[in-house]
Amino acid sequence: MEIKFEQNKDLTSLNTFHIKAKAKLFATYSRVEELHKISFSPEFMENEVFYLGGGSNVLFNGDFDGLVLKSEIKGIKRYDKDSETVFLIAGAAELWTDVVDFAIKEGLAGIENLAAIPGTAGAAPVQNIGAYGSEIGEVIHKVECFDVISHNTLTLTAEQCRFGYRDSIFKNEGKGRYVVLRVSLKLKNSNLAENLNYGPLKKLKEKLGRTPTISEVAKEVTEIRNSKLPDPAKIGNAGSFFKNPVVRIYFYKEVMSTLCPDIPYYETEDPYYVKIPAGWLIEHAGLKGFSIGDAEVYPQQCLVIANKGEASSGDVIEVASHVVKTVLSKFGVVLRPEVNIIDSEIKVTILGSGTSKGIPEIGCHCPVCTSTDPKDKRTRCSALVETRGVRLLIDVSPDFRMQALNNEISYLDAALITHNHYDHVGGFDDLRPFCANGKFPIYLRPDVNADLHRRLDYCFSDTHYPGVPSFEMNEIENAPFMIKGVRISPVTVMHGKVPIVGFRIGNFAYITDAKTIEEEEKEKLAGLDVLVVNGLRDKDHFAHFTIAEALELIEELKPKRAYLTHFCHEVGKHCDLERRLPENVFPCYDGMTIITK
């Protein structure tokens, strides 16, 4: 069983945006045994991996510097449980439209409302695709997956898939870990449609004077979709670019409706939240037809960003960014992309580079604290990491509010916490704007979680006090984990006698407040492109690297580039420190941007 890895594979025809891009490596698999073999290969182990389905929900932002894997697992079969219930099993590579057509031909009800949705059967549970009052999660029986960490197959029930609005385990901690092989749907042995609550389908029933068949509903849905959405074969697009935002009802009433009282909303299963139609927000923000280059907000359906011809990924991202900023300014809500932005680049913004007192220190009149050089004005340590369309905050310093404003941070996907000292968590309450769309995910050690529950007890009360930040606390161990497909590797370091966490993301690592690192933890830092590490001052400190100790670590690990952070005023002026560092080592400053692969 030989696996063929293609090099510099052209992906233009494999994504419905028709955006030009190449993959460094590309391979397909038609059996789980082939995927199992691939998962042990050097090509898999030594590269970032992306699993490509039908290409209908992705935007490649440049060439992909890794391995792209595409499923070719086919087959659609029915298994009758009894006279009423039928299980429909589809291979991940089957087109979703073919699955719907098969169900209608066989007289199986339950997915007719999901007709004409582009993509594959394997992508359907990942996205929890939905339309016209239905979601695939409602009829999922089981999902067969391959776990790339254990190298075993497993079967997840619908409950284990944790379906939410356009969400599932496969888009969160399971992203990049669980590869969908086959999908099992629980359908009804019937030709009559049942879910007719969506407006146009109600009208169809009234028009016919009877309950429509599943074939009639599928035809109606297809015609509606075709009238609104561009055909990807003719106009490049990825369907709905943005999710409909789900916000706290308190936020809707107290903020959004005061900005515009006509904003429509829909109730959700959670009485504390409502759903806002993103297309309405975009249209009423005056963005219909807005374009940059050949990328355009599609006039017939503002949820879509279309490639009118030769749009670049940059054009699409600029249009999307403008939409997000305009809607936020007008309606106070952040739109989140439904499209997966695939980017090998890692962008790091140093939000704060100072130690616990910051620079200038209160009451100090030394040359550093009185310097007029902006690079000598250091707030307390935080960093923003952006990759693959995911935005991660490392630490929430007491200065985070101004850091967010200065760097125009309008949305975040999660926060990583190194430890519980105040200069790294003092800005937690300022995360409340990022909680408007639901609980904000935090990743941290169990001891830090317990301490924050004591210190911020009002955030974790069962009573929903209006405006209080709401967090989803995810406890981590000293083992890799995933956030929306981004692999995070914790690195335990010693802050004096206190164990704390550094983080490695791809070939970038961020370590702060370290004094010593065990050899086995140093092994996790091999082969780095960029290392950011603390260097408090020249004089020895019981819990922090000195400049000399940080340089010794850099010399030992040999990253391509290294950056020092977490300075106190004793380190001297930025310009003086910069001159005495080795060629590949640089002092951080607030607002500094570092880009790597």
Q: What is the widest separation between alpha-carbon atoms in the chain?
A: 86
What span, in angstroms and rounded, lies between the C-alpha atoms of 348 and 335?
22
* Closest among 381, 409, 379, 390 to 482, alpha carbons compared: 390
Question: Of 281, 275, 212, 282, whose CA–CA distance to 247 is shortest?
Answer: 275
445 among known catalytic residues: no
The answer to whether residue 312 is catalytic is no
Check 94, 134, 138, 166 and give the catalytic one: 166
Q: Are 114 and 192 in contact (CB under 8 A)?
A: no
- Please identify which of the residues 168, 184, 240, 344 carries the catalytic annotation: 240
pTM, two decimals, is: 0.80
Q: pLDDT at position 464, please?
A: 64
Measured distance CA(559)–CA(509) in Å, rounded = 10
Question: What are the distances in angstroms from CA 402 to CA 353, 369, 382, 541, 589?
Answer: 14, 19, 12, 29, 15
C-alpha distances in Å from residue 578, one per residue of 191, 541, 551, 584? 74, 21, 13, 11
> Which tokens in the block code for residue 34?
């082939």
| Cα(574)–Cα(566) distance, integer angstroms | 12
10 Å CB burial of residue 153 (0-12, 13-18, 19+) is: middle
Report the distance separating Cα 66 and Cα 536, nearest Å.
36
Q: How far apart are CA 85 and CA 408, in angstroms?
A: 52
The contacts of residue 212 (CB under 8 Å, 6+ apart) are 192, 193, 196, 201, 204, 205, 220
Query: Residue 258: which residues within 8 A CB-CB, separation 6 or more?
Result: none
Give pLDDT, residue 423.
Answer: 97
Residues 65, 48: contact at Cβ < 8 Å? Answer: yes
From first to last of its 597 residues, the chain has per-residue pLDDT tens of 788 999 999 999 999 999 999 999 999 999 999 999 999 999 998 888 899 988 888 999 889 988 999 999 999 999 998 889 999 999 999 999 999 999 999 999 999 999 999 899 999 999 999 988 899 999 999 999 999 989 999 999 999 999 988 889 998 888 888 999 999 999 999 999 988 887 788 888 888 888 899 999 999 999 988 888 888 889 999 989 998 998 888 888 888 888 888 999 988 888 888 999 999 999 999 999 999 999 999 999 999 999 999 999 999 999 999 999 999 889 988 898 888 888 878 999 999 999 999 999 999 999 999 999 999 999 999 999 999 888 999 999 999 999 999 998 988 999 999 999 999 999 999 999 888 777 899 999 999 999 999 999 988 887 667 778 889 999 999 998 888 878 899 999 999 999 999 999 989 999 999 999 999 999 999 999 999 999 999 999 999 999 999 999 999 999 999 999 999 999 999 999 999 999 999 999 999 999 997
Give the end-to-end CA distance of the chain in Å, rounded to a whole number.
Answer: 32
Distances in Å between the Cα of 459 and the Cα atoms of 183, 272, 453, 471 are: 39, 16, 8, 7
**182 in catalytic set:** no
Residue 188's contacts (CB-CB under 8 Å, 6 or more residues apart) are 84, 85, 86, 108, 109, 110, 194
Q: Where are the beta strands (DSSP E) in 48-129?
A: 49-52, 58-60, 64-71, 76-80, 85-91, 108-109
How many degrees, rounded to 5, is the angle at CA 149 between CA 143 and CA 152? 50
Distance (Å, whole) CA 331 – CA 350: 29
DSSP 5: -
CB hemisphere CA count around 573 (13 angstroms):
11
Helix (H, G, I), strand (E, B) or coil at 189: strand
Q: Is 188 helix (H, G, I), strand (E, B) or coil?
A: strand
112, 220, 338, 549: the catalytic one is: 338
Write down the residue that tokens 């955030």 correspond to: 459
Give the Cβ contact number of residue 363 at 10 Å. 6
Query: Distance of alpha carbon 431 from its chain centroid, rounded?
Result: 17
Q: Which residues pair with 79 in a beta bridge?
A: 87
